[in-house]
Chain A
Amino acid sequence: MYVLSAIVSLTLLGLTLGFLLGIAARYLKVESSPIVDELESLLPGSQCGQCGFPGCRPAAEALAEGKAAATICPPGGSALAEQIAALLGLDLDLSEVKEPELLVARVSEATCTGCTRCFKVCPTDAIVGAPKQIHAVVADACIGCKKCVDVCPTECLQMHPIEVTLRNWRWTKPVLPEARSAVC
């Protein structure tokens, strides 16, 4: 008898909870596909907005729906475009993709007033300094988002191309000779 009541009560409990879970799944559903999460993890996550979307998450959603091309992210360059194309199974023509020009912020010591506005907005903590002390940019951590340039009151923060050293010097790609007209 005890056994029977245990079976009945547990079955009822299971059915009730299952029903509640079913209702919750229907009414409290979060609209998110796993592919969007995967795409978002590929994107830089600096929310720079250069793609025309308000951030990396909306850009990932547009990619997942097929509304944006794999080459959407300018800071990511062709490396990111290749990863996105591989994930979504797209054909990709990279010959038109421009590699992003890498820029880093640099503080001009002559005009920096030590106002601390720039390092408050830096998303990667790449600017170091203290009130009324000249600030400096850690170039390796700078992602070139230009947020500091916008808030600097004296325009002492400017974007500069990354300095070429023996460490990051690379061979250039051979240039194809112009297609010659067939002379026979």
Chain B
Amino acid sequence: MLSFFSNPRIRGGIHAEEHKAATATQAIVNNFPLPEKLYIPLQQHVGKPAEPLIKVGEKVLKGQLLAYSQGMISAPVHAPSSGVILDVNDYPAPHPSALPIRMIVLETDGNDEWIERHTVADPFQLTPEDISLRVGAAGIVGLGGATFPTAVKLNMGRENHIDTLIINGAECEPYLSCDDRLMQERAGQIIDGVRLMLHGMETENAVVAIEDNKPGAYLAMQAAALPYPRIKVIQIPTRYPMGWDRQLIRYVTGKEVPVGCRSSEIGVTIHNVGTAHAVHKAIRLGQPLVSRVITVSGGAVAHPMNVEVPLGTLISELFKFCKVDSNQTARIIMGGPMMGDSLPHTGLPTVKATSGILALTQNELKNTDEQPCIRCASCVSVCPAGLRPLDMANNIRINQLDVAVDLGLKDCISCGCCSYICPSNIPLVQYFKYASGEVAARQQAQHKSEQTKRLIDARNARMERIARQQREEEQARLAAKAERERQKAEQEALA
């Protein structure tokens, strides 16, 4: 009866067509042909870009450090294969704008020869600090898509005395099944990674949460976690966006993360299953993060699959391998169809954040024929953040951004539920993304005008100082001249 009155454990959300069957039933493909050239961006993570330490023309081995992390929040980049460095320059980024960012271009030699790897006999003898250090040195970032450096998160967990580690196996985005396959095929390795993370954070309990549309993954993970009572594997309802950290925390622990706080402040940390797998590889095998499993799917793909590729592989190479019909492709998306980014062309590399590449046909796209809002409030009922998207969009349309911020624009997670459900096809998420960018731009403009005032004041002060100095020098000169003339007159008078 009490639970009837308490807050619902899941707020909002939608149930979209899953489209996962095409890829979820086949094993991960491991024989992807090594591309001739790999384009490795220096920034594949949140924080400062890595700084290259190799020279053009240098020969490198697989797993060799190419660029080191700089600053507190950053991650290093390693060579995904052996070969020669061709260039360090600006190339188009995997981003909707395809604007250039700095990348290292590696020409592979086909040997795929590993650098010497350092393994440890018993990683549980290592200190927790040592675990974070090794995870950081392996360049591991959150592989669910947020790409926050994992080592920083482990340290934060240790400092905040986390009591529960949640492993996110929800994979709620339609089409994607890379985490599902990973859990089915490499459950033992993932559970080992979870144990290493628990050791690294000095935390007691872990909960692996898997959506109930992945029974195979659930059974495999449960079997793998059986010997370890500290690790609990649970099923959660299938509902997008179940994999959003705050939604998942609310469902699993019943706690609400307050606005403006991190989840670690209420004693919970979330990591993705892919990240746990990468931690296992880094600590047990000494392998840095140089490859990942990517879902290639969509209506225009003749052979949809999950495939393990080296980081930096161009999307065009992936599409060639999976036989994508470019004539039918209406849109290329990196990530899932709900939150992923639409890319302008295929000459862009895959990065640590790339969980999937979709080639969608015109039939799979939503009708964008926009019509007036009928105030049905469907968007309000599906918003997982508890916002009123229709009011926010109306205010943004007339440029009342301050009102939109008051309505909670900063709490919007761009999950796309409102745009998906809108019967009038209003591009609500695009309004919110535009407005967030505009608010940030205004803050920058404000900052610049303050800086300008400071510069102008500094210049005026300097000009005054120079004028005063000149005046004083002039007076000193005149005084000296008068003195000289007086002495001259005295001498003349004496003579």
Contact = CB atoms under 8 A, between A and B. Distances in A.
Q: Is the interface of B mostly helix, strand, loop or mixed?
A: helix
Q: What's the interface size class on B, roughly?
A: 35 or more
A45 B99 CA distance: 34
Given A124-B459, A125-B458, A97 B434 contact: no
A129 to B, nearest CB: 15
Contacts of B366: none
Contacts of A82: 401-402
Contacts of B453: 45
Contact of B433 (A97, A141, A171): A171
A95 B399 contact: yes
B370 interface: yes
Contacts of A172: 434
A169 B452 contact: no
Interface stretch (B316-324, B329-337, B440-448, B475-483): B440-448
A125 B459 contact: yes
Contact of A173 (B95, B370, B434, B446): B434
Contacts of A176: 370, 397
B89 to A, nearest CB: 15
Contacts of B401: 82
Contacts of A164: 97, 99
The interface centre, meaning the residue of B369, B427, B445 with most chain A CB atoms within 10 A of its CB, is B445
A44 interface: yes
Interface string B397-408: 111111000000
B437 A125 contact: no
Q: Which of A44, A77, A78, A174 has the most CB of B within 10 A?
A: A174
A65 B99 CA distance: 47
A141 B451 contact: yes
A123 B433 CA distance: 35
A125 B398 contact: no
A124 B452 contact: yes
26 contacts: A44-B449, A45-B449, A45-B453, A45-B456, A46-B452, A77-B445, A82-B401, A93-B398, A94-B398, A94-B399, A94-B400, A124-B455, A124-B456, A140-B448, A143-B452, A170-B437, A170-B438, A171-B433, A171-B434, A173-B438, A174-B370, A174-B431, A174-B434, A176-B370, A177-B369, A177-B371
Interface of B: 93, 95, 97, 99, 101, 369-371, 396-402, 427, 430-431, 433-434, 437-438, 440-442, 445-446, 448-449, 451-453, 455-456, 458-459
Interface of A: 44-46, 77-79, 82, 93-95, 97, 123-126, 140-141, 143, 164-166, 168-174, 176-177
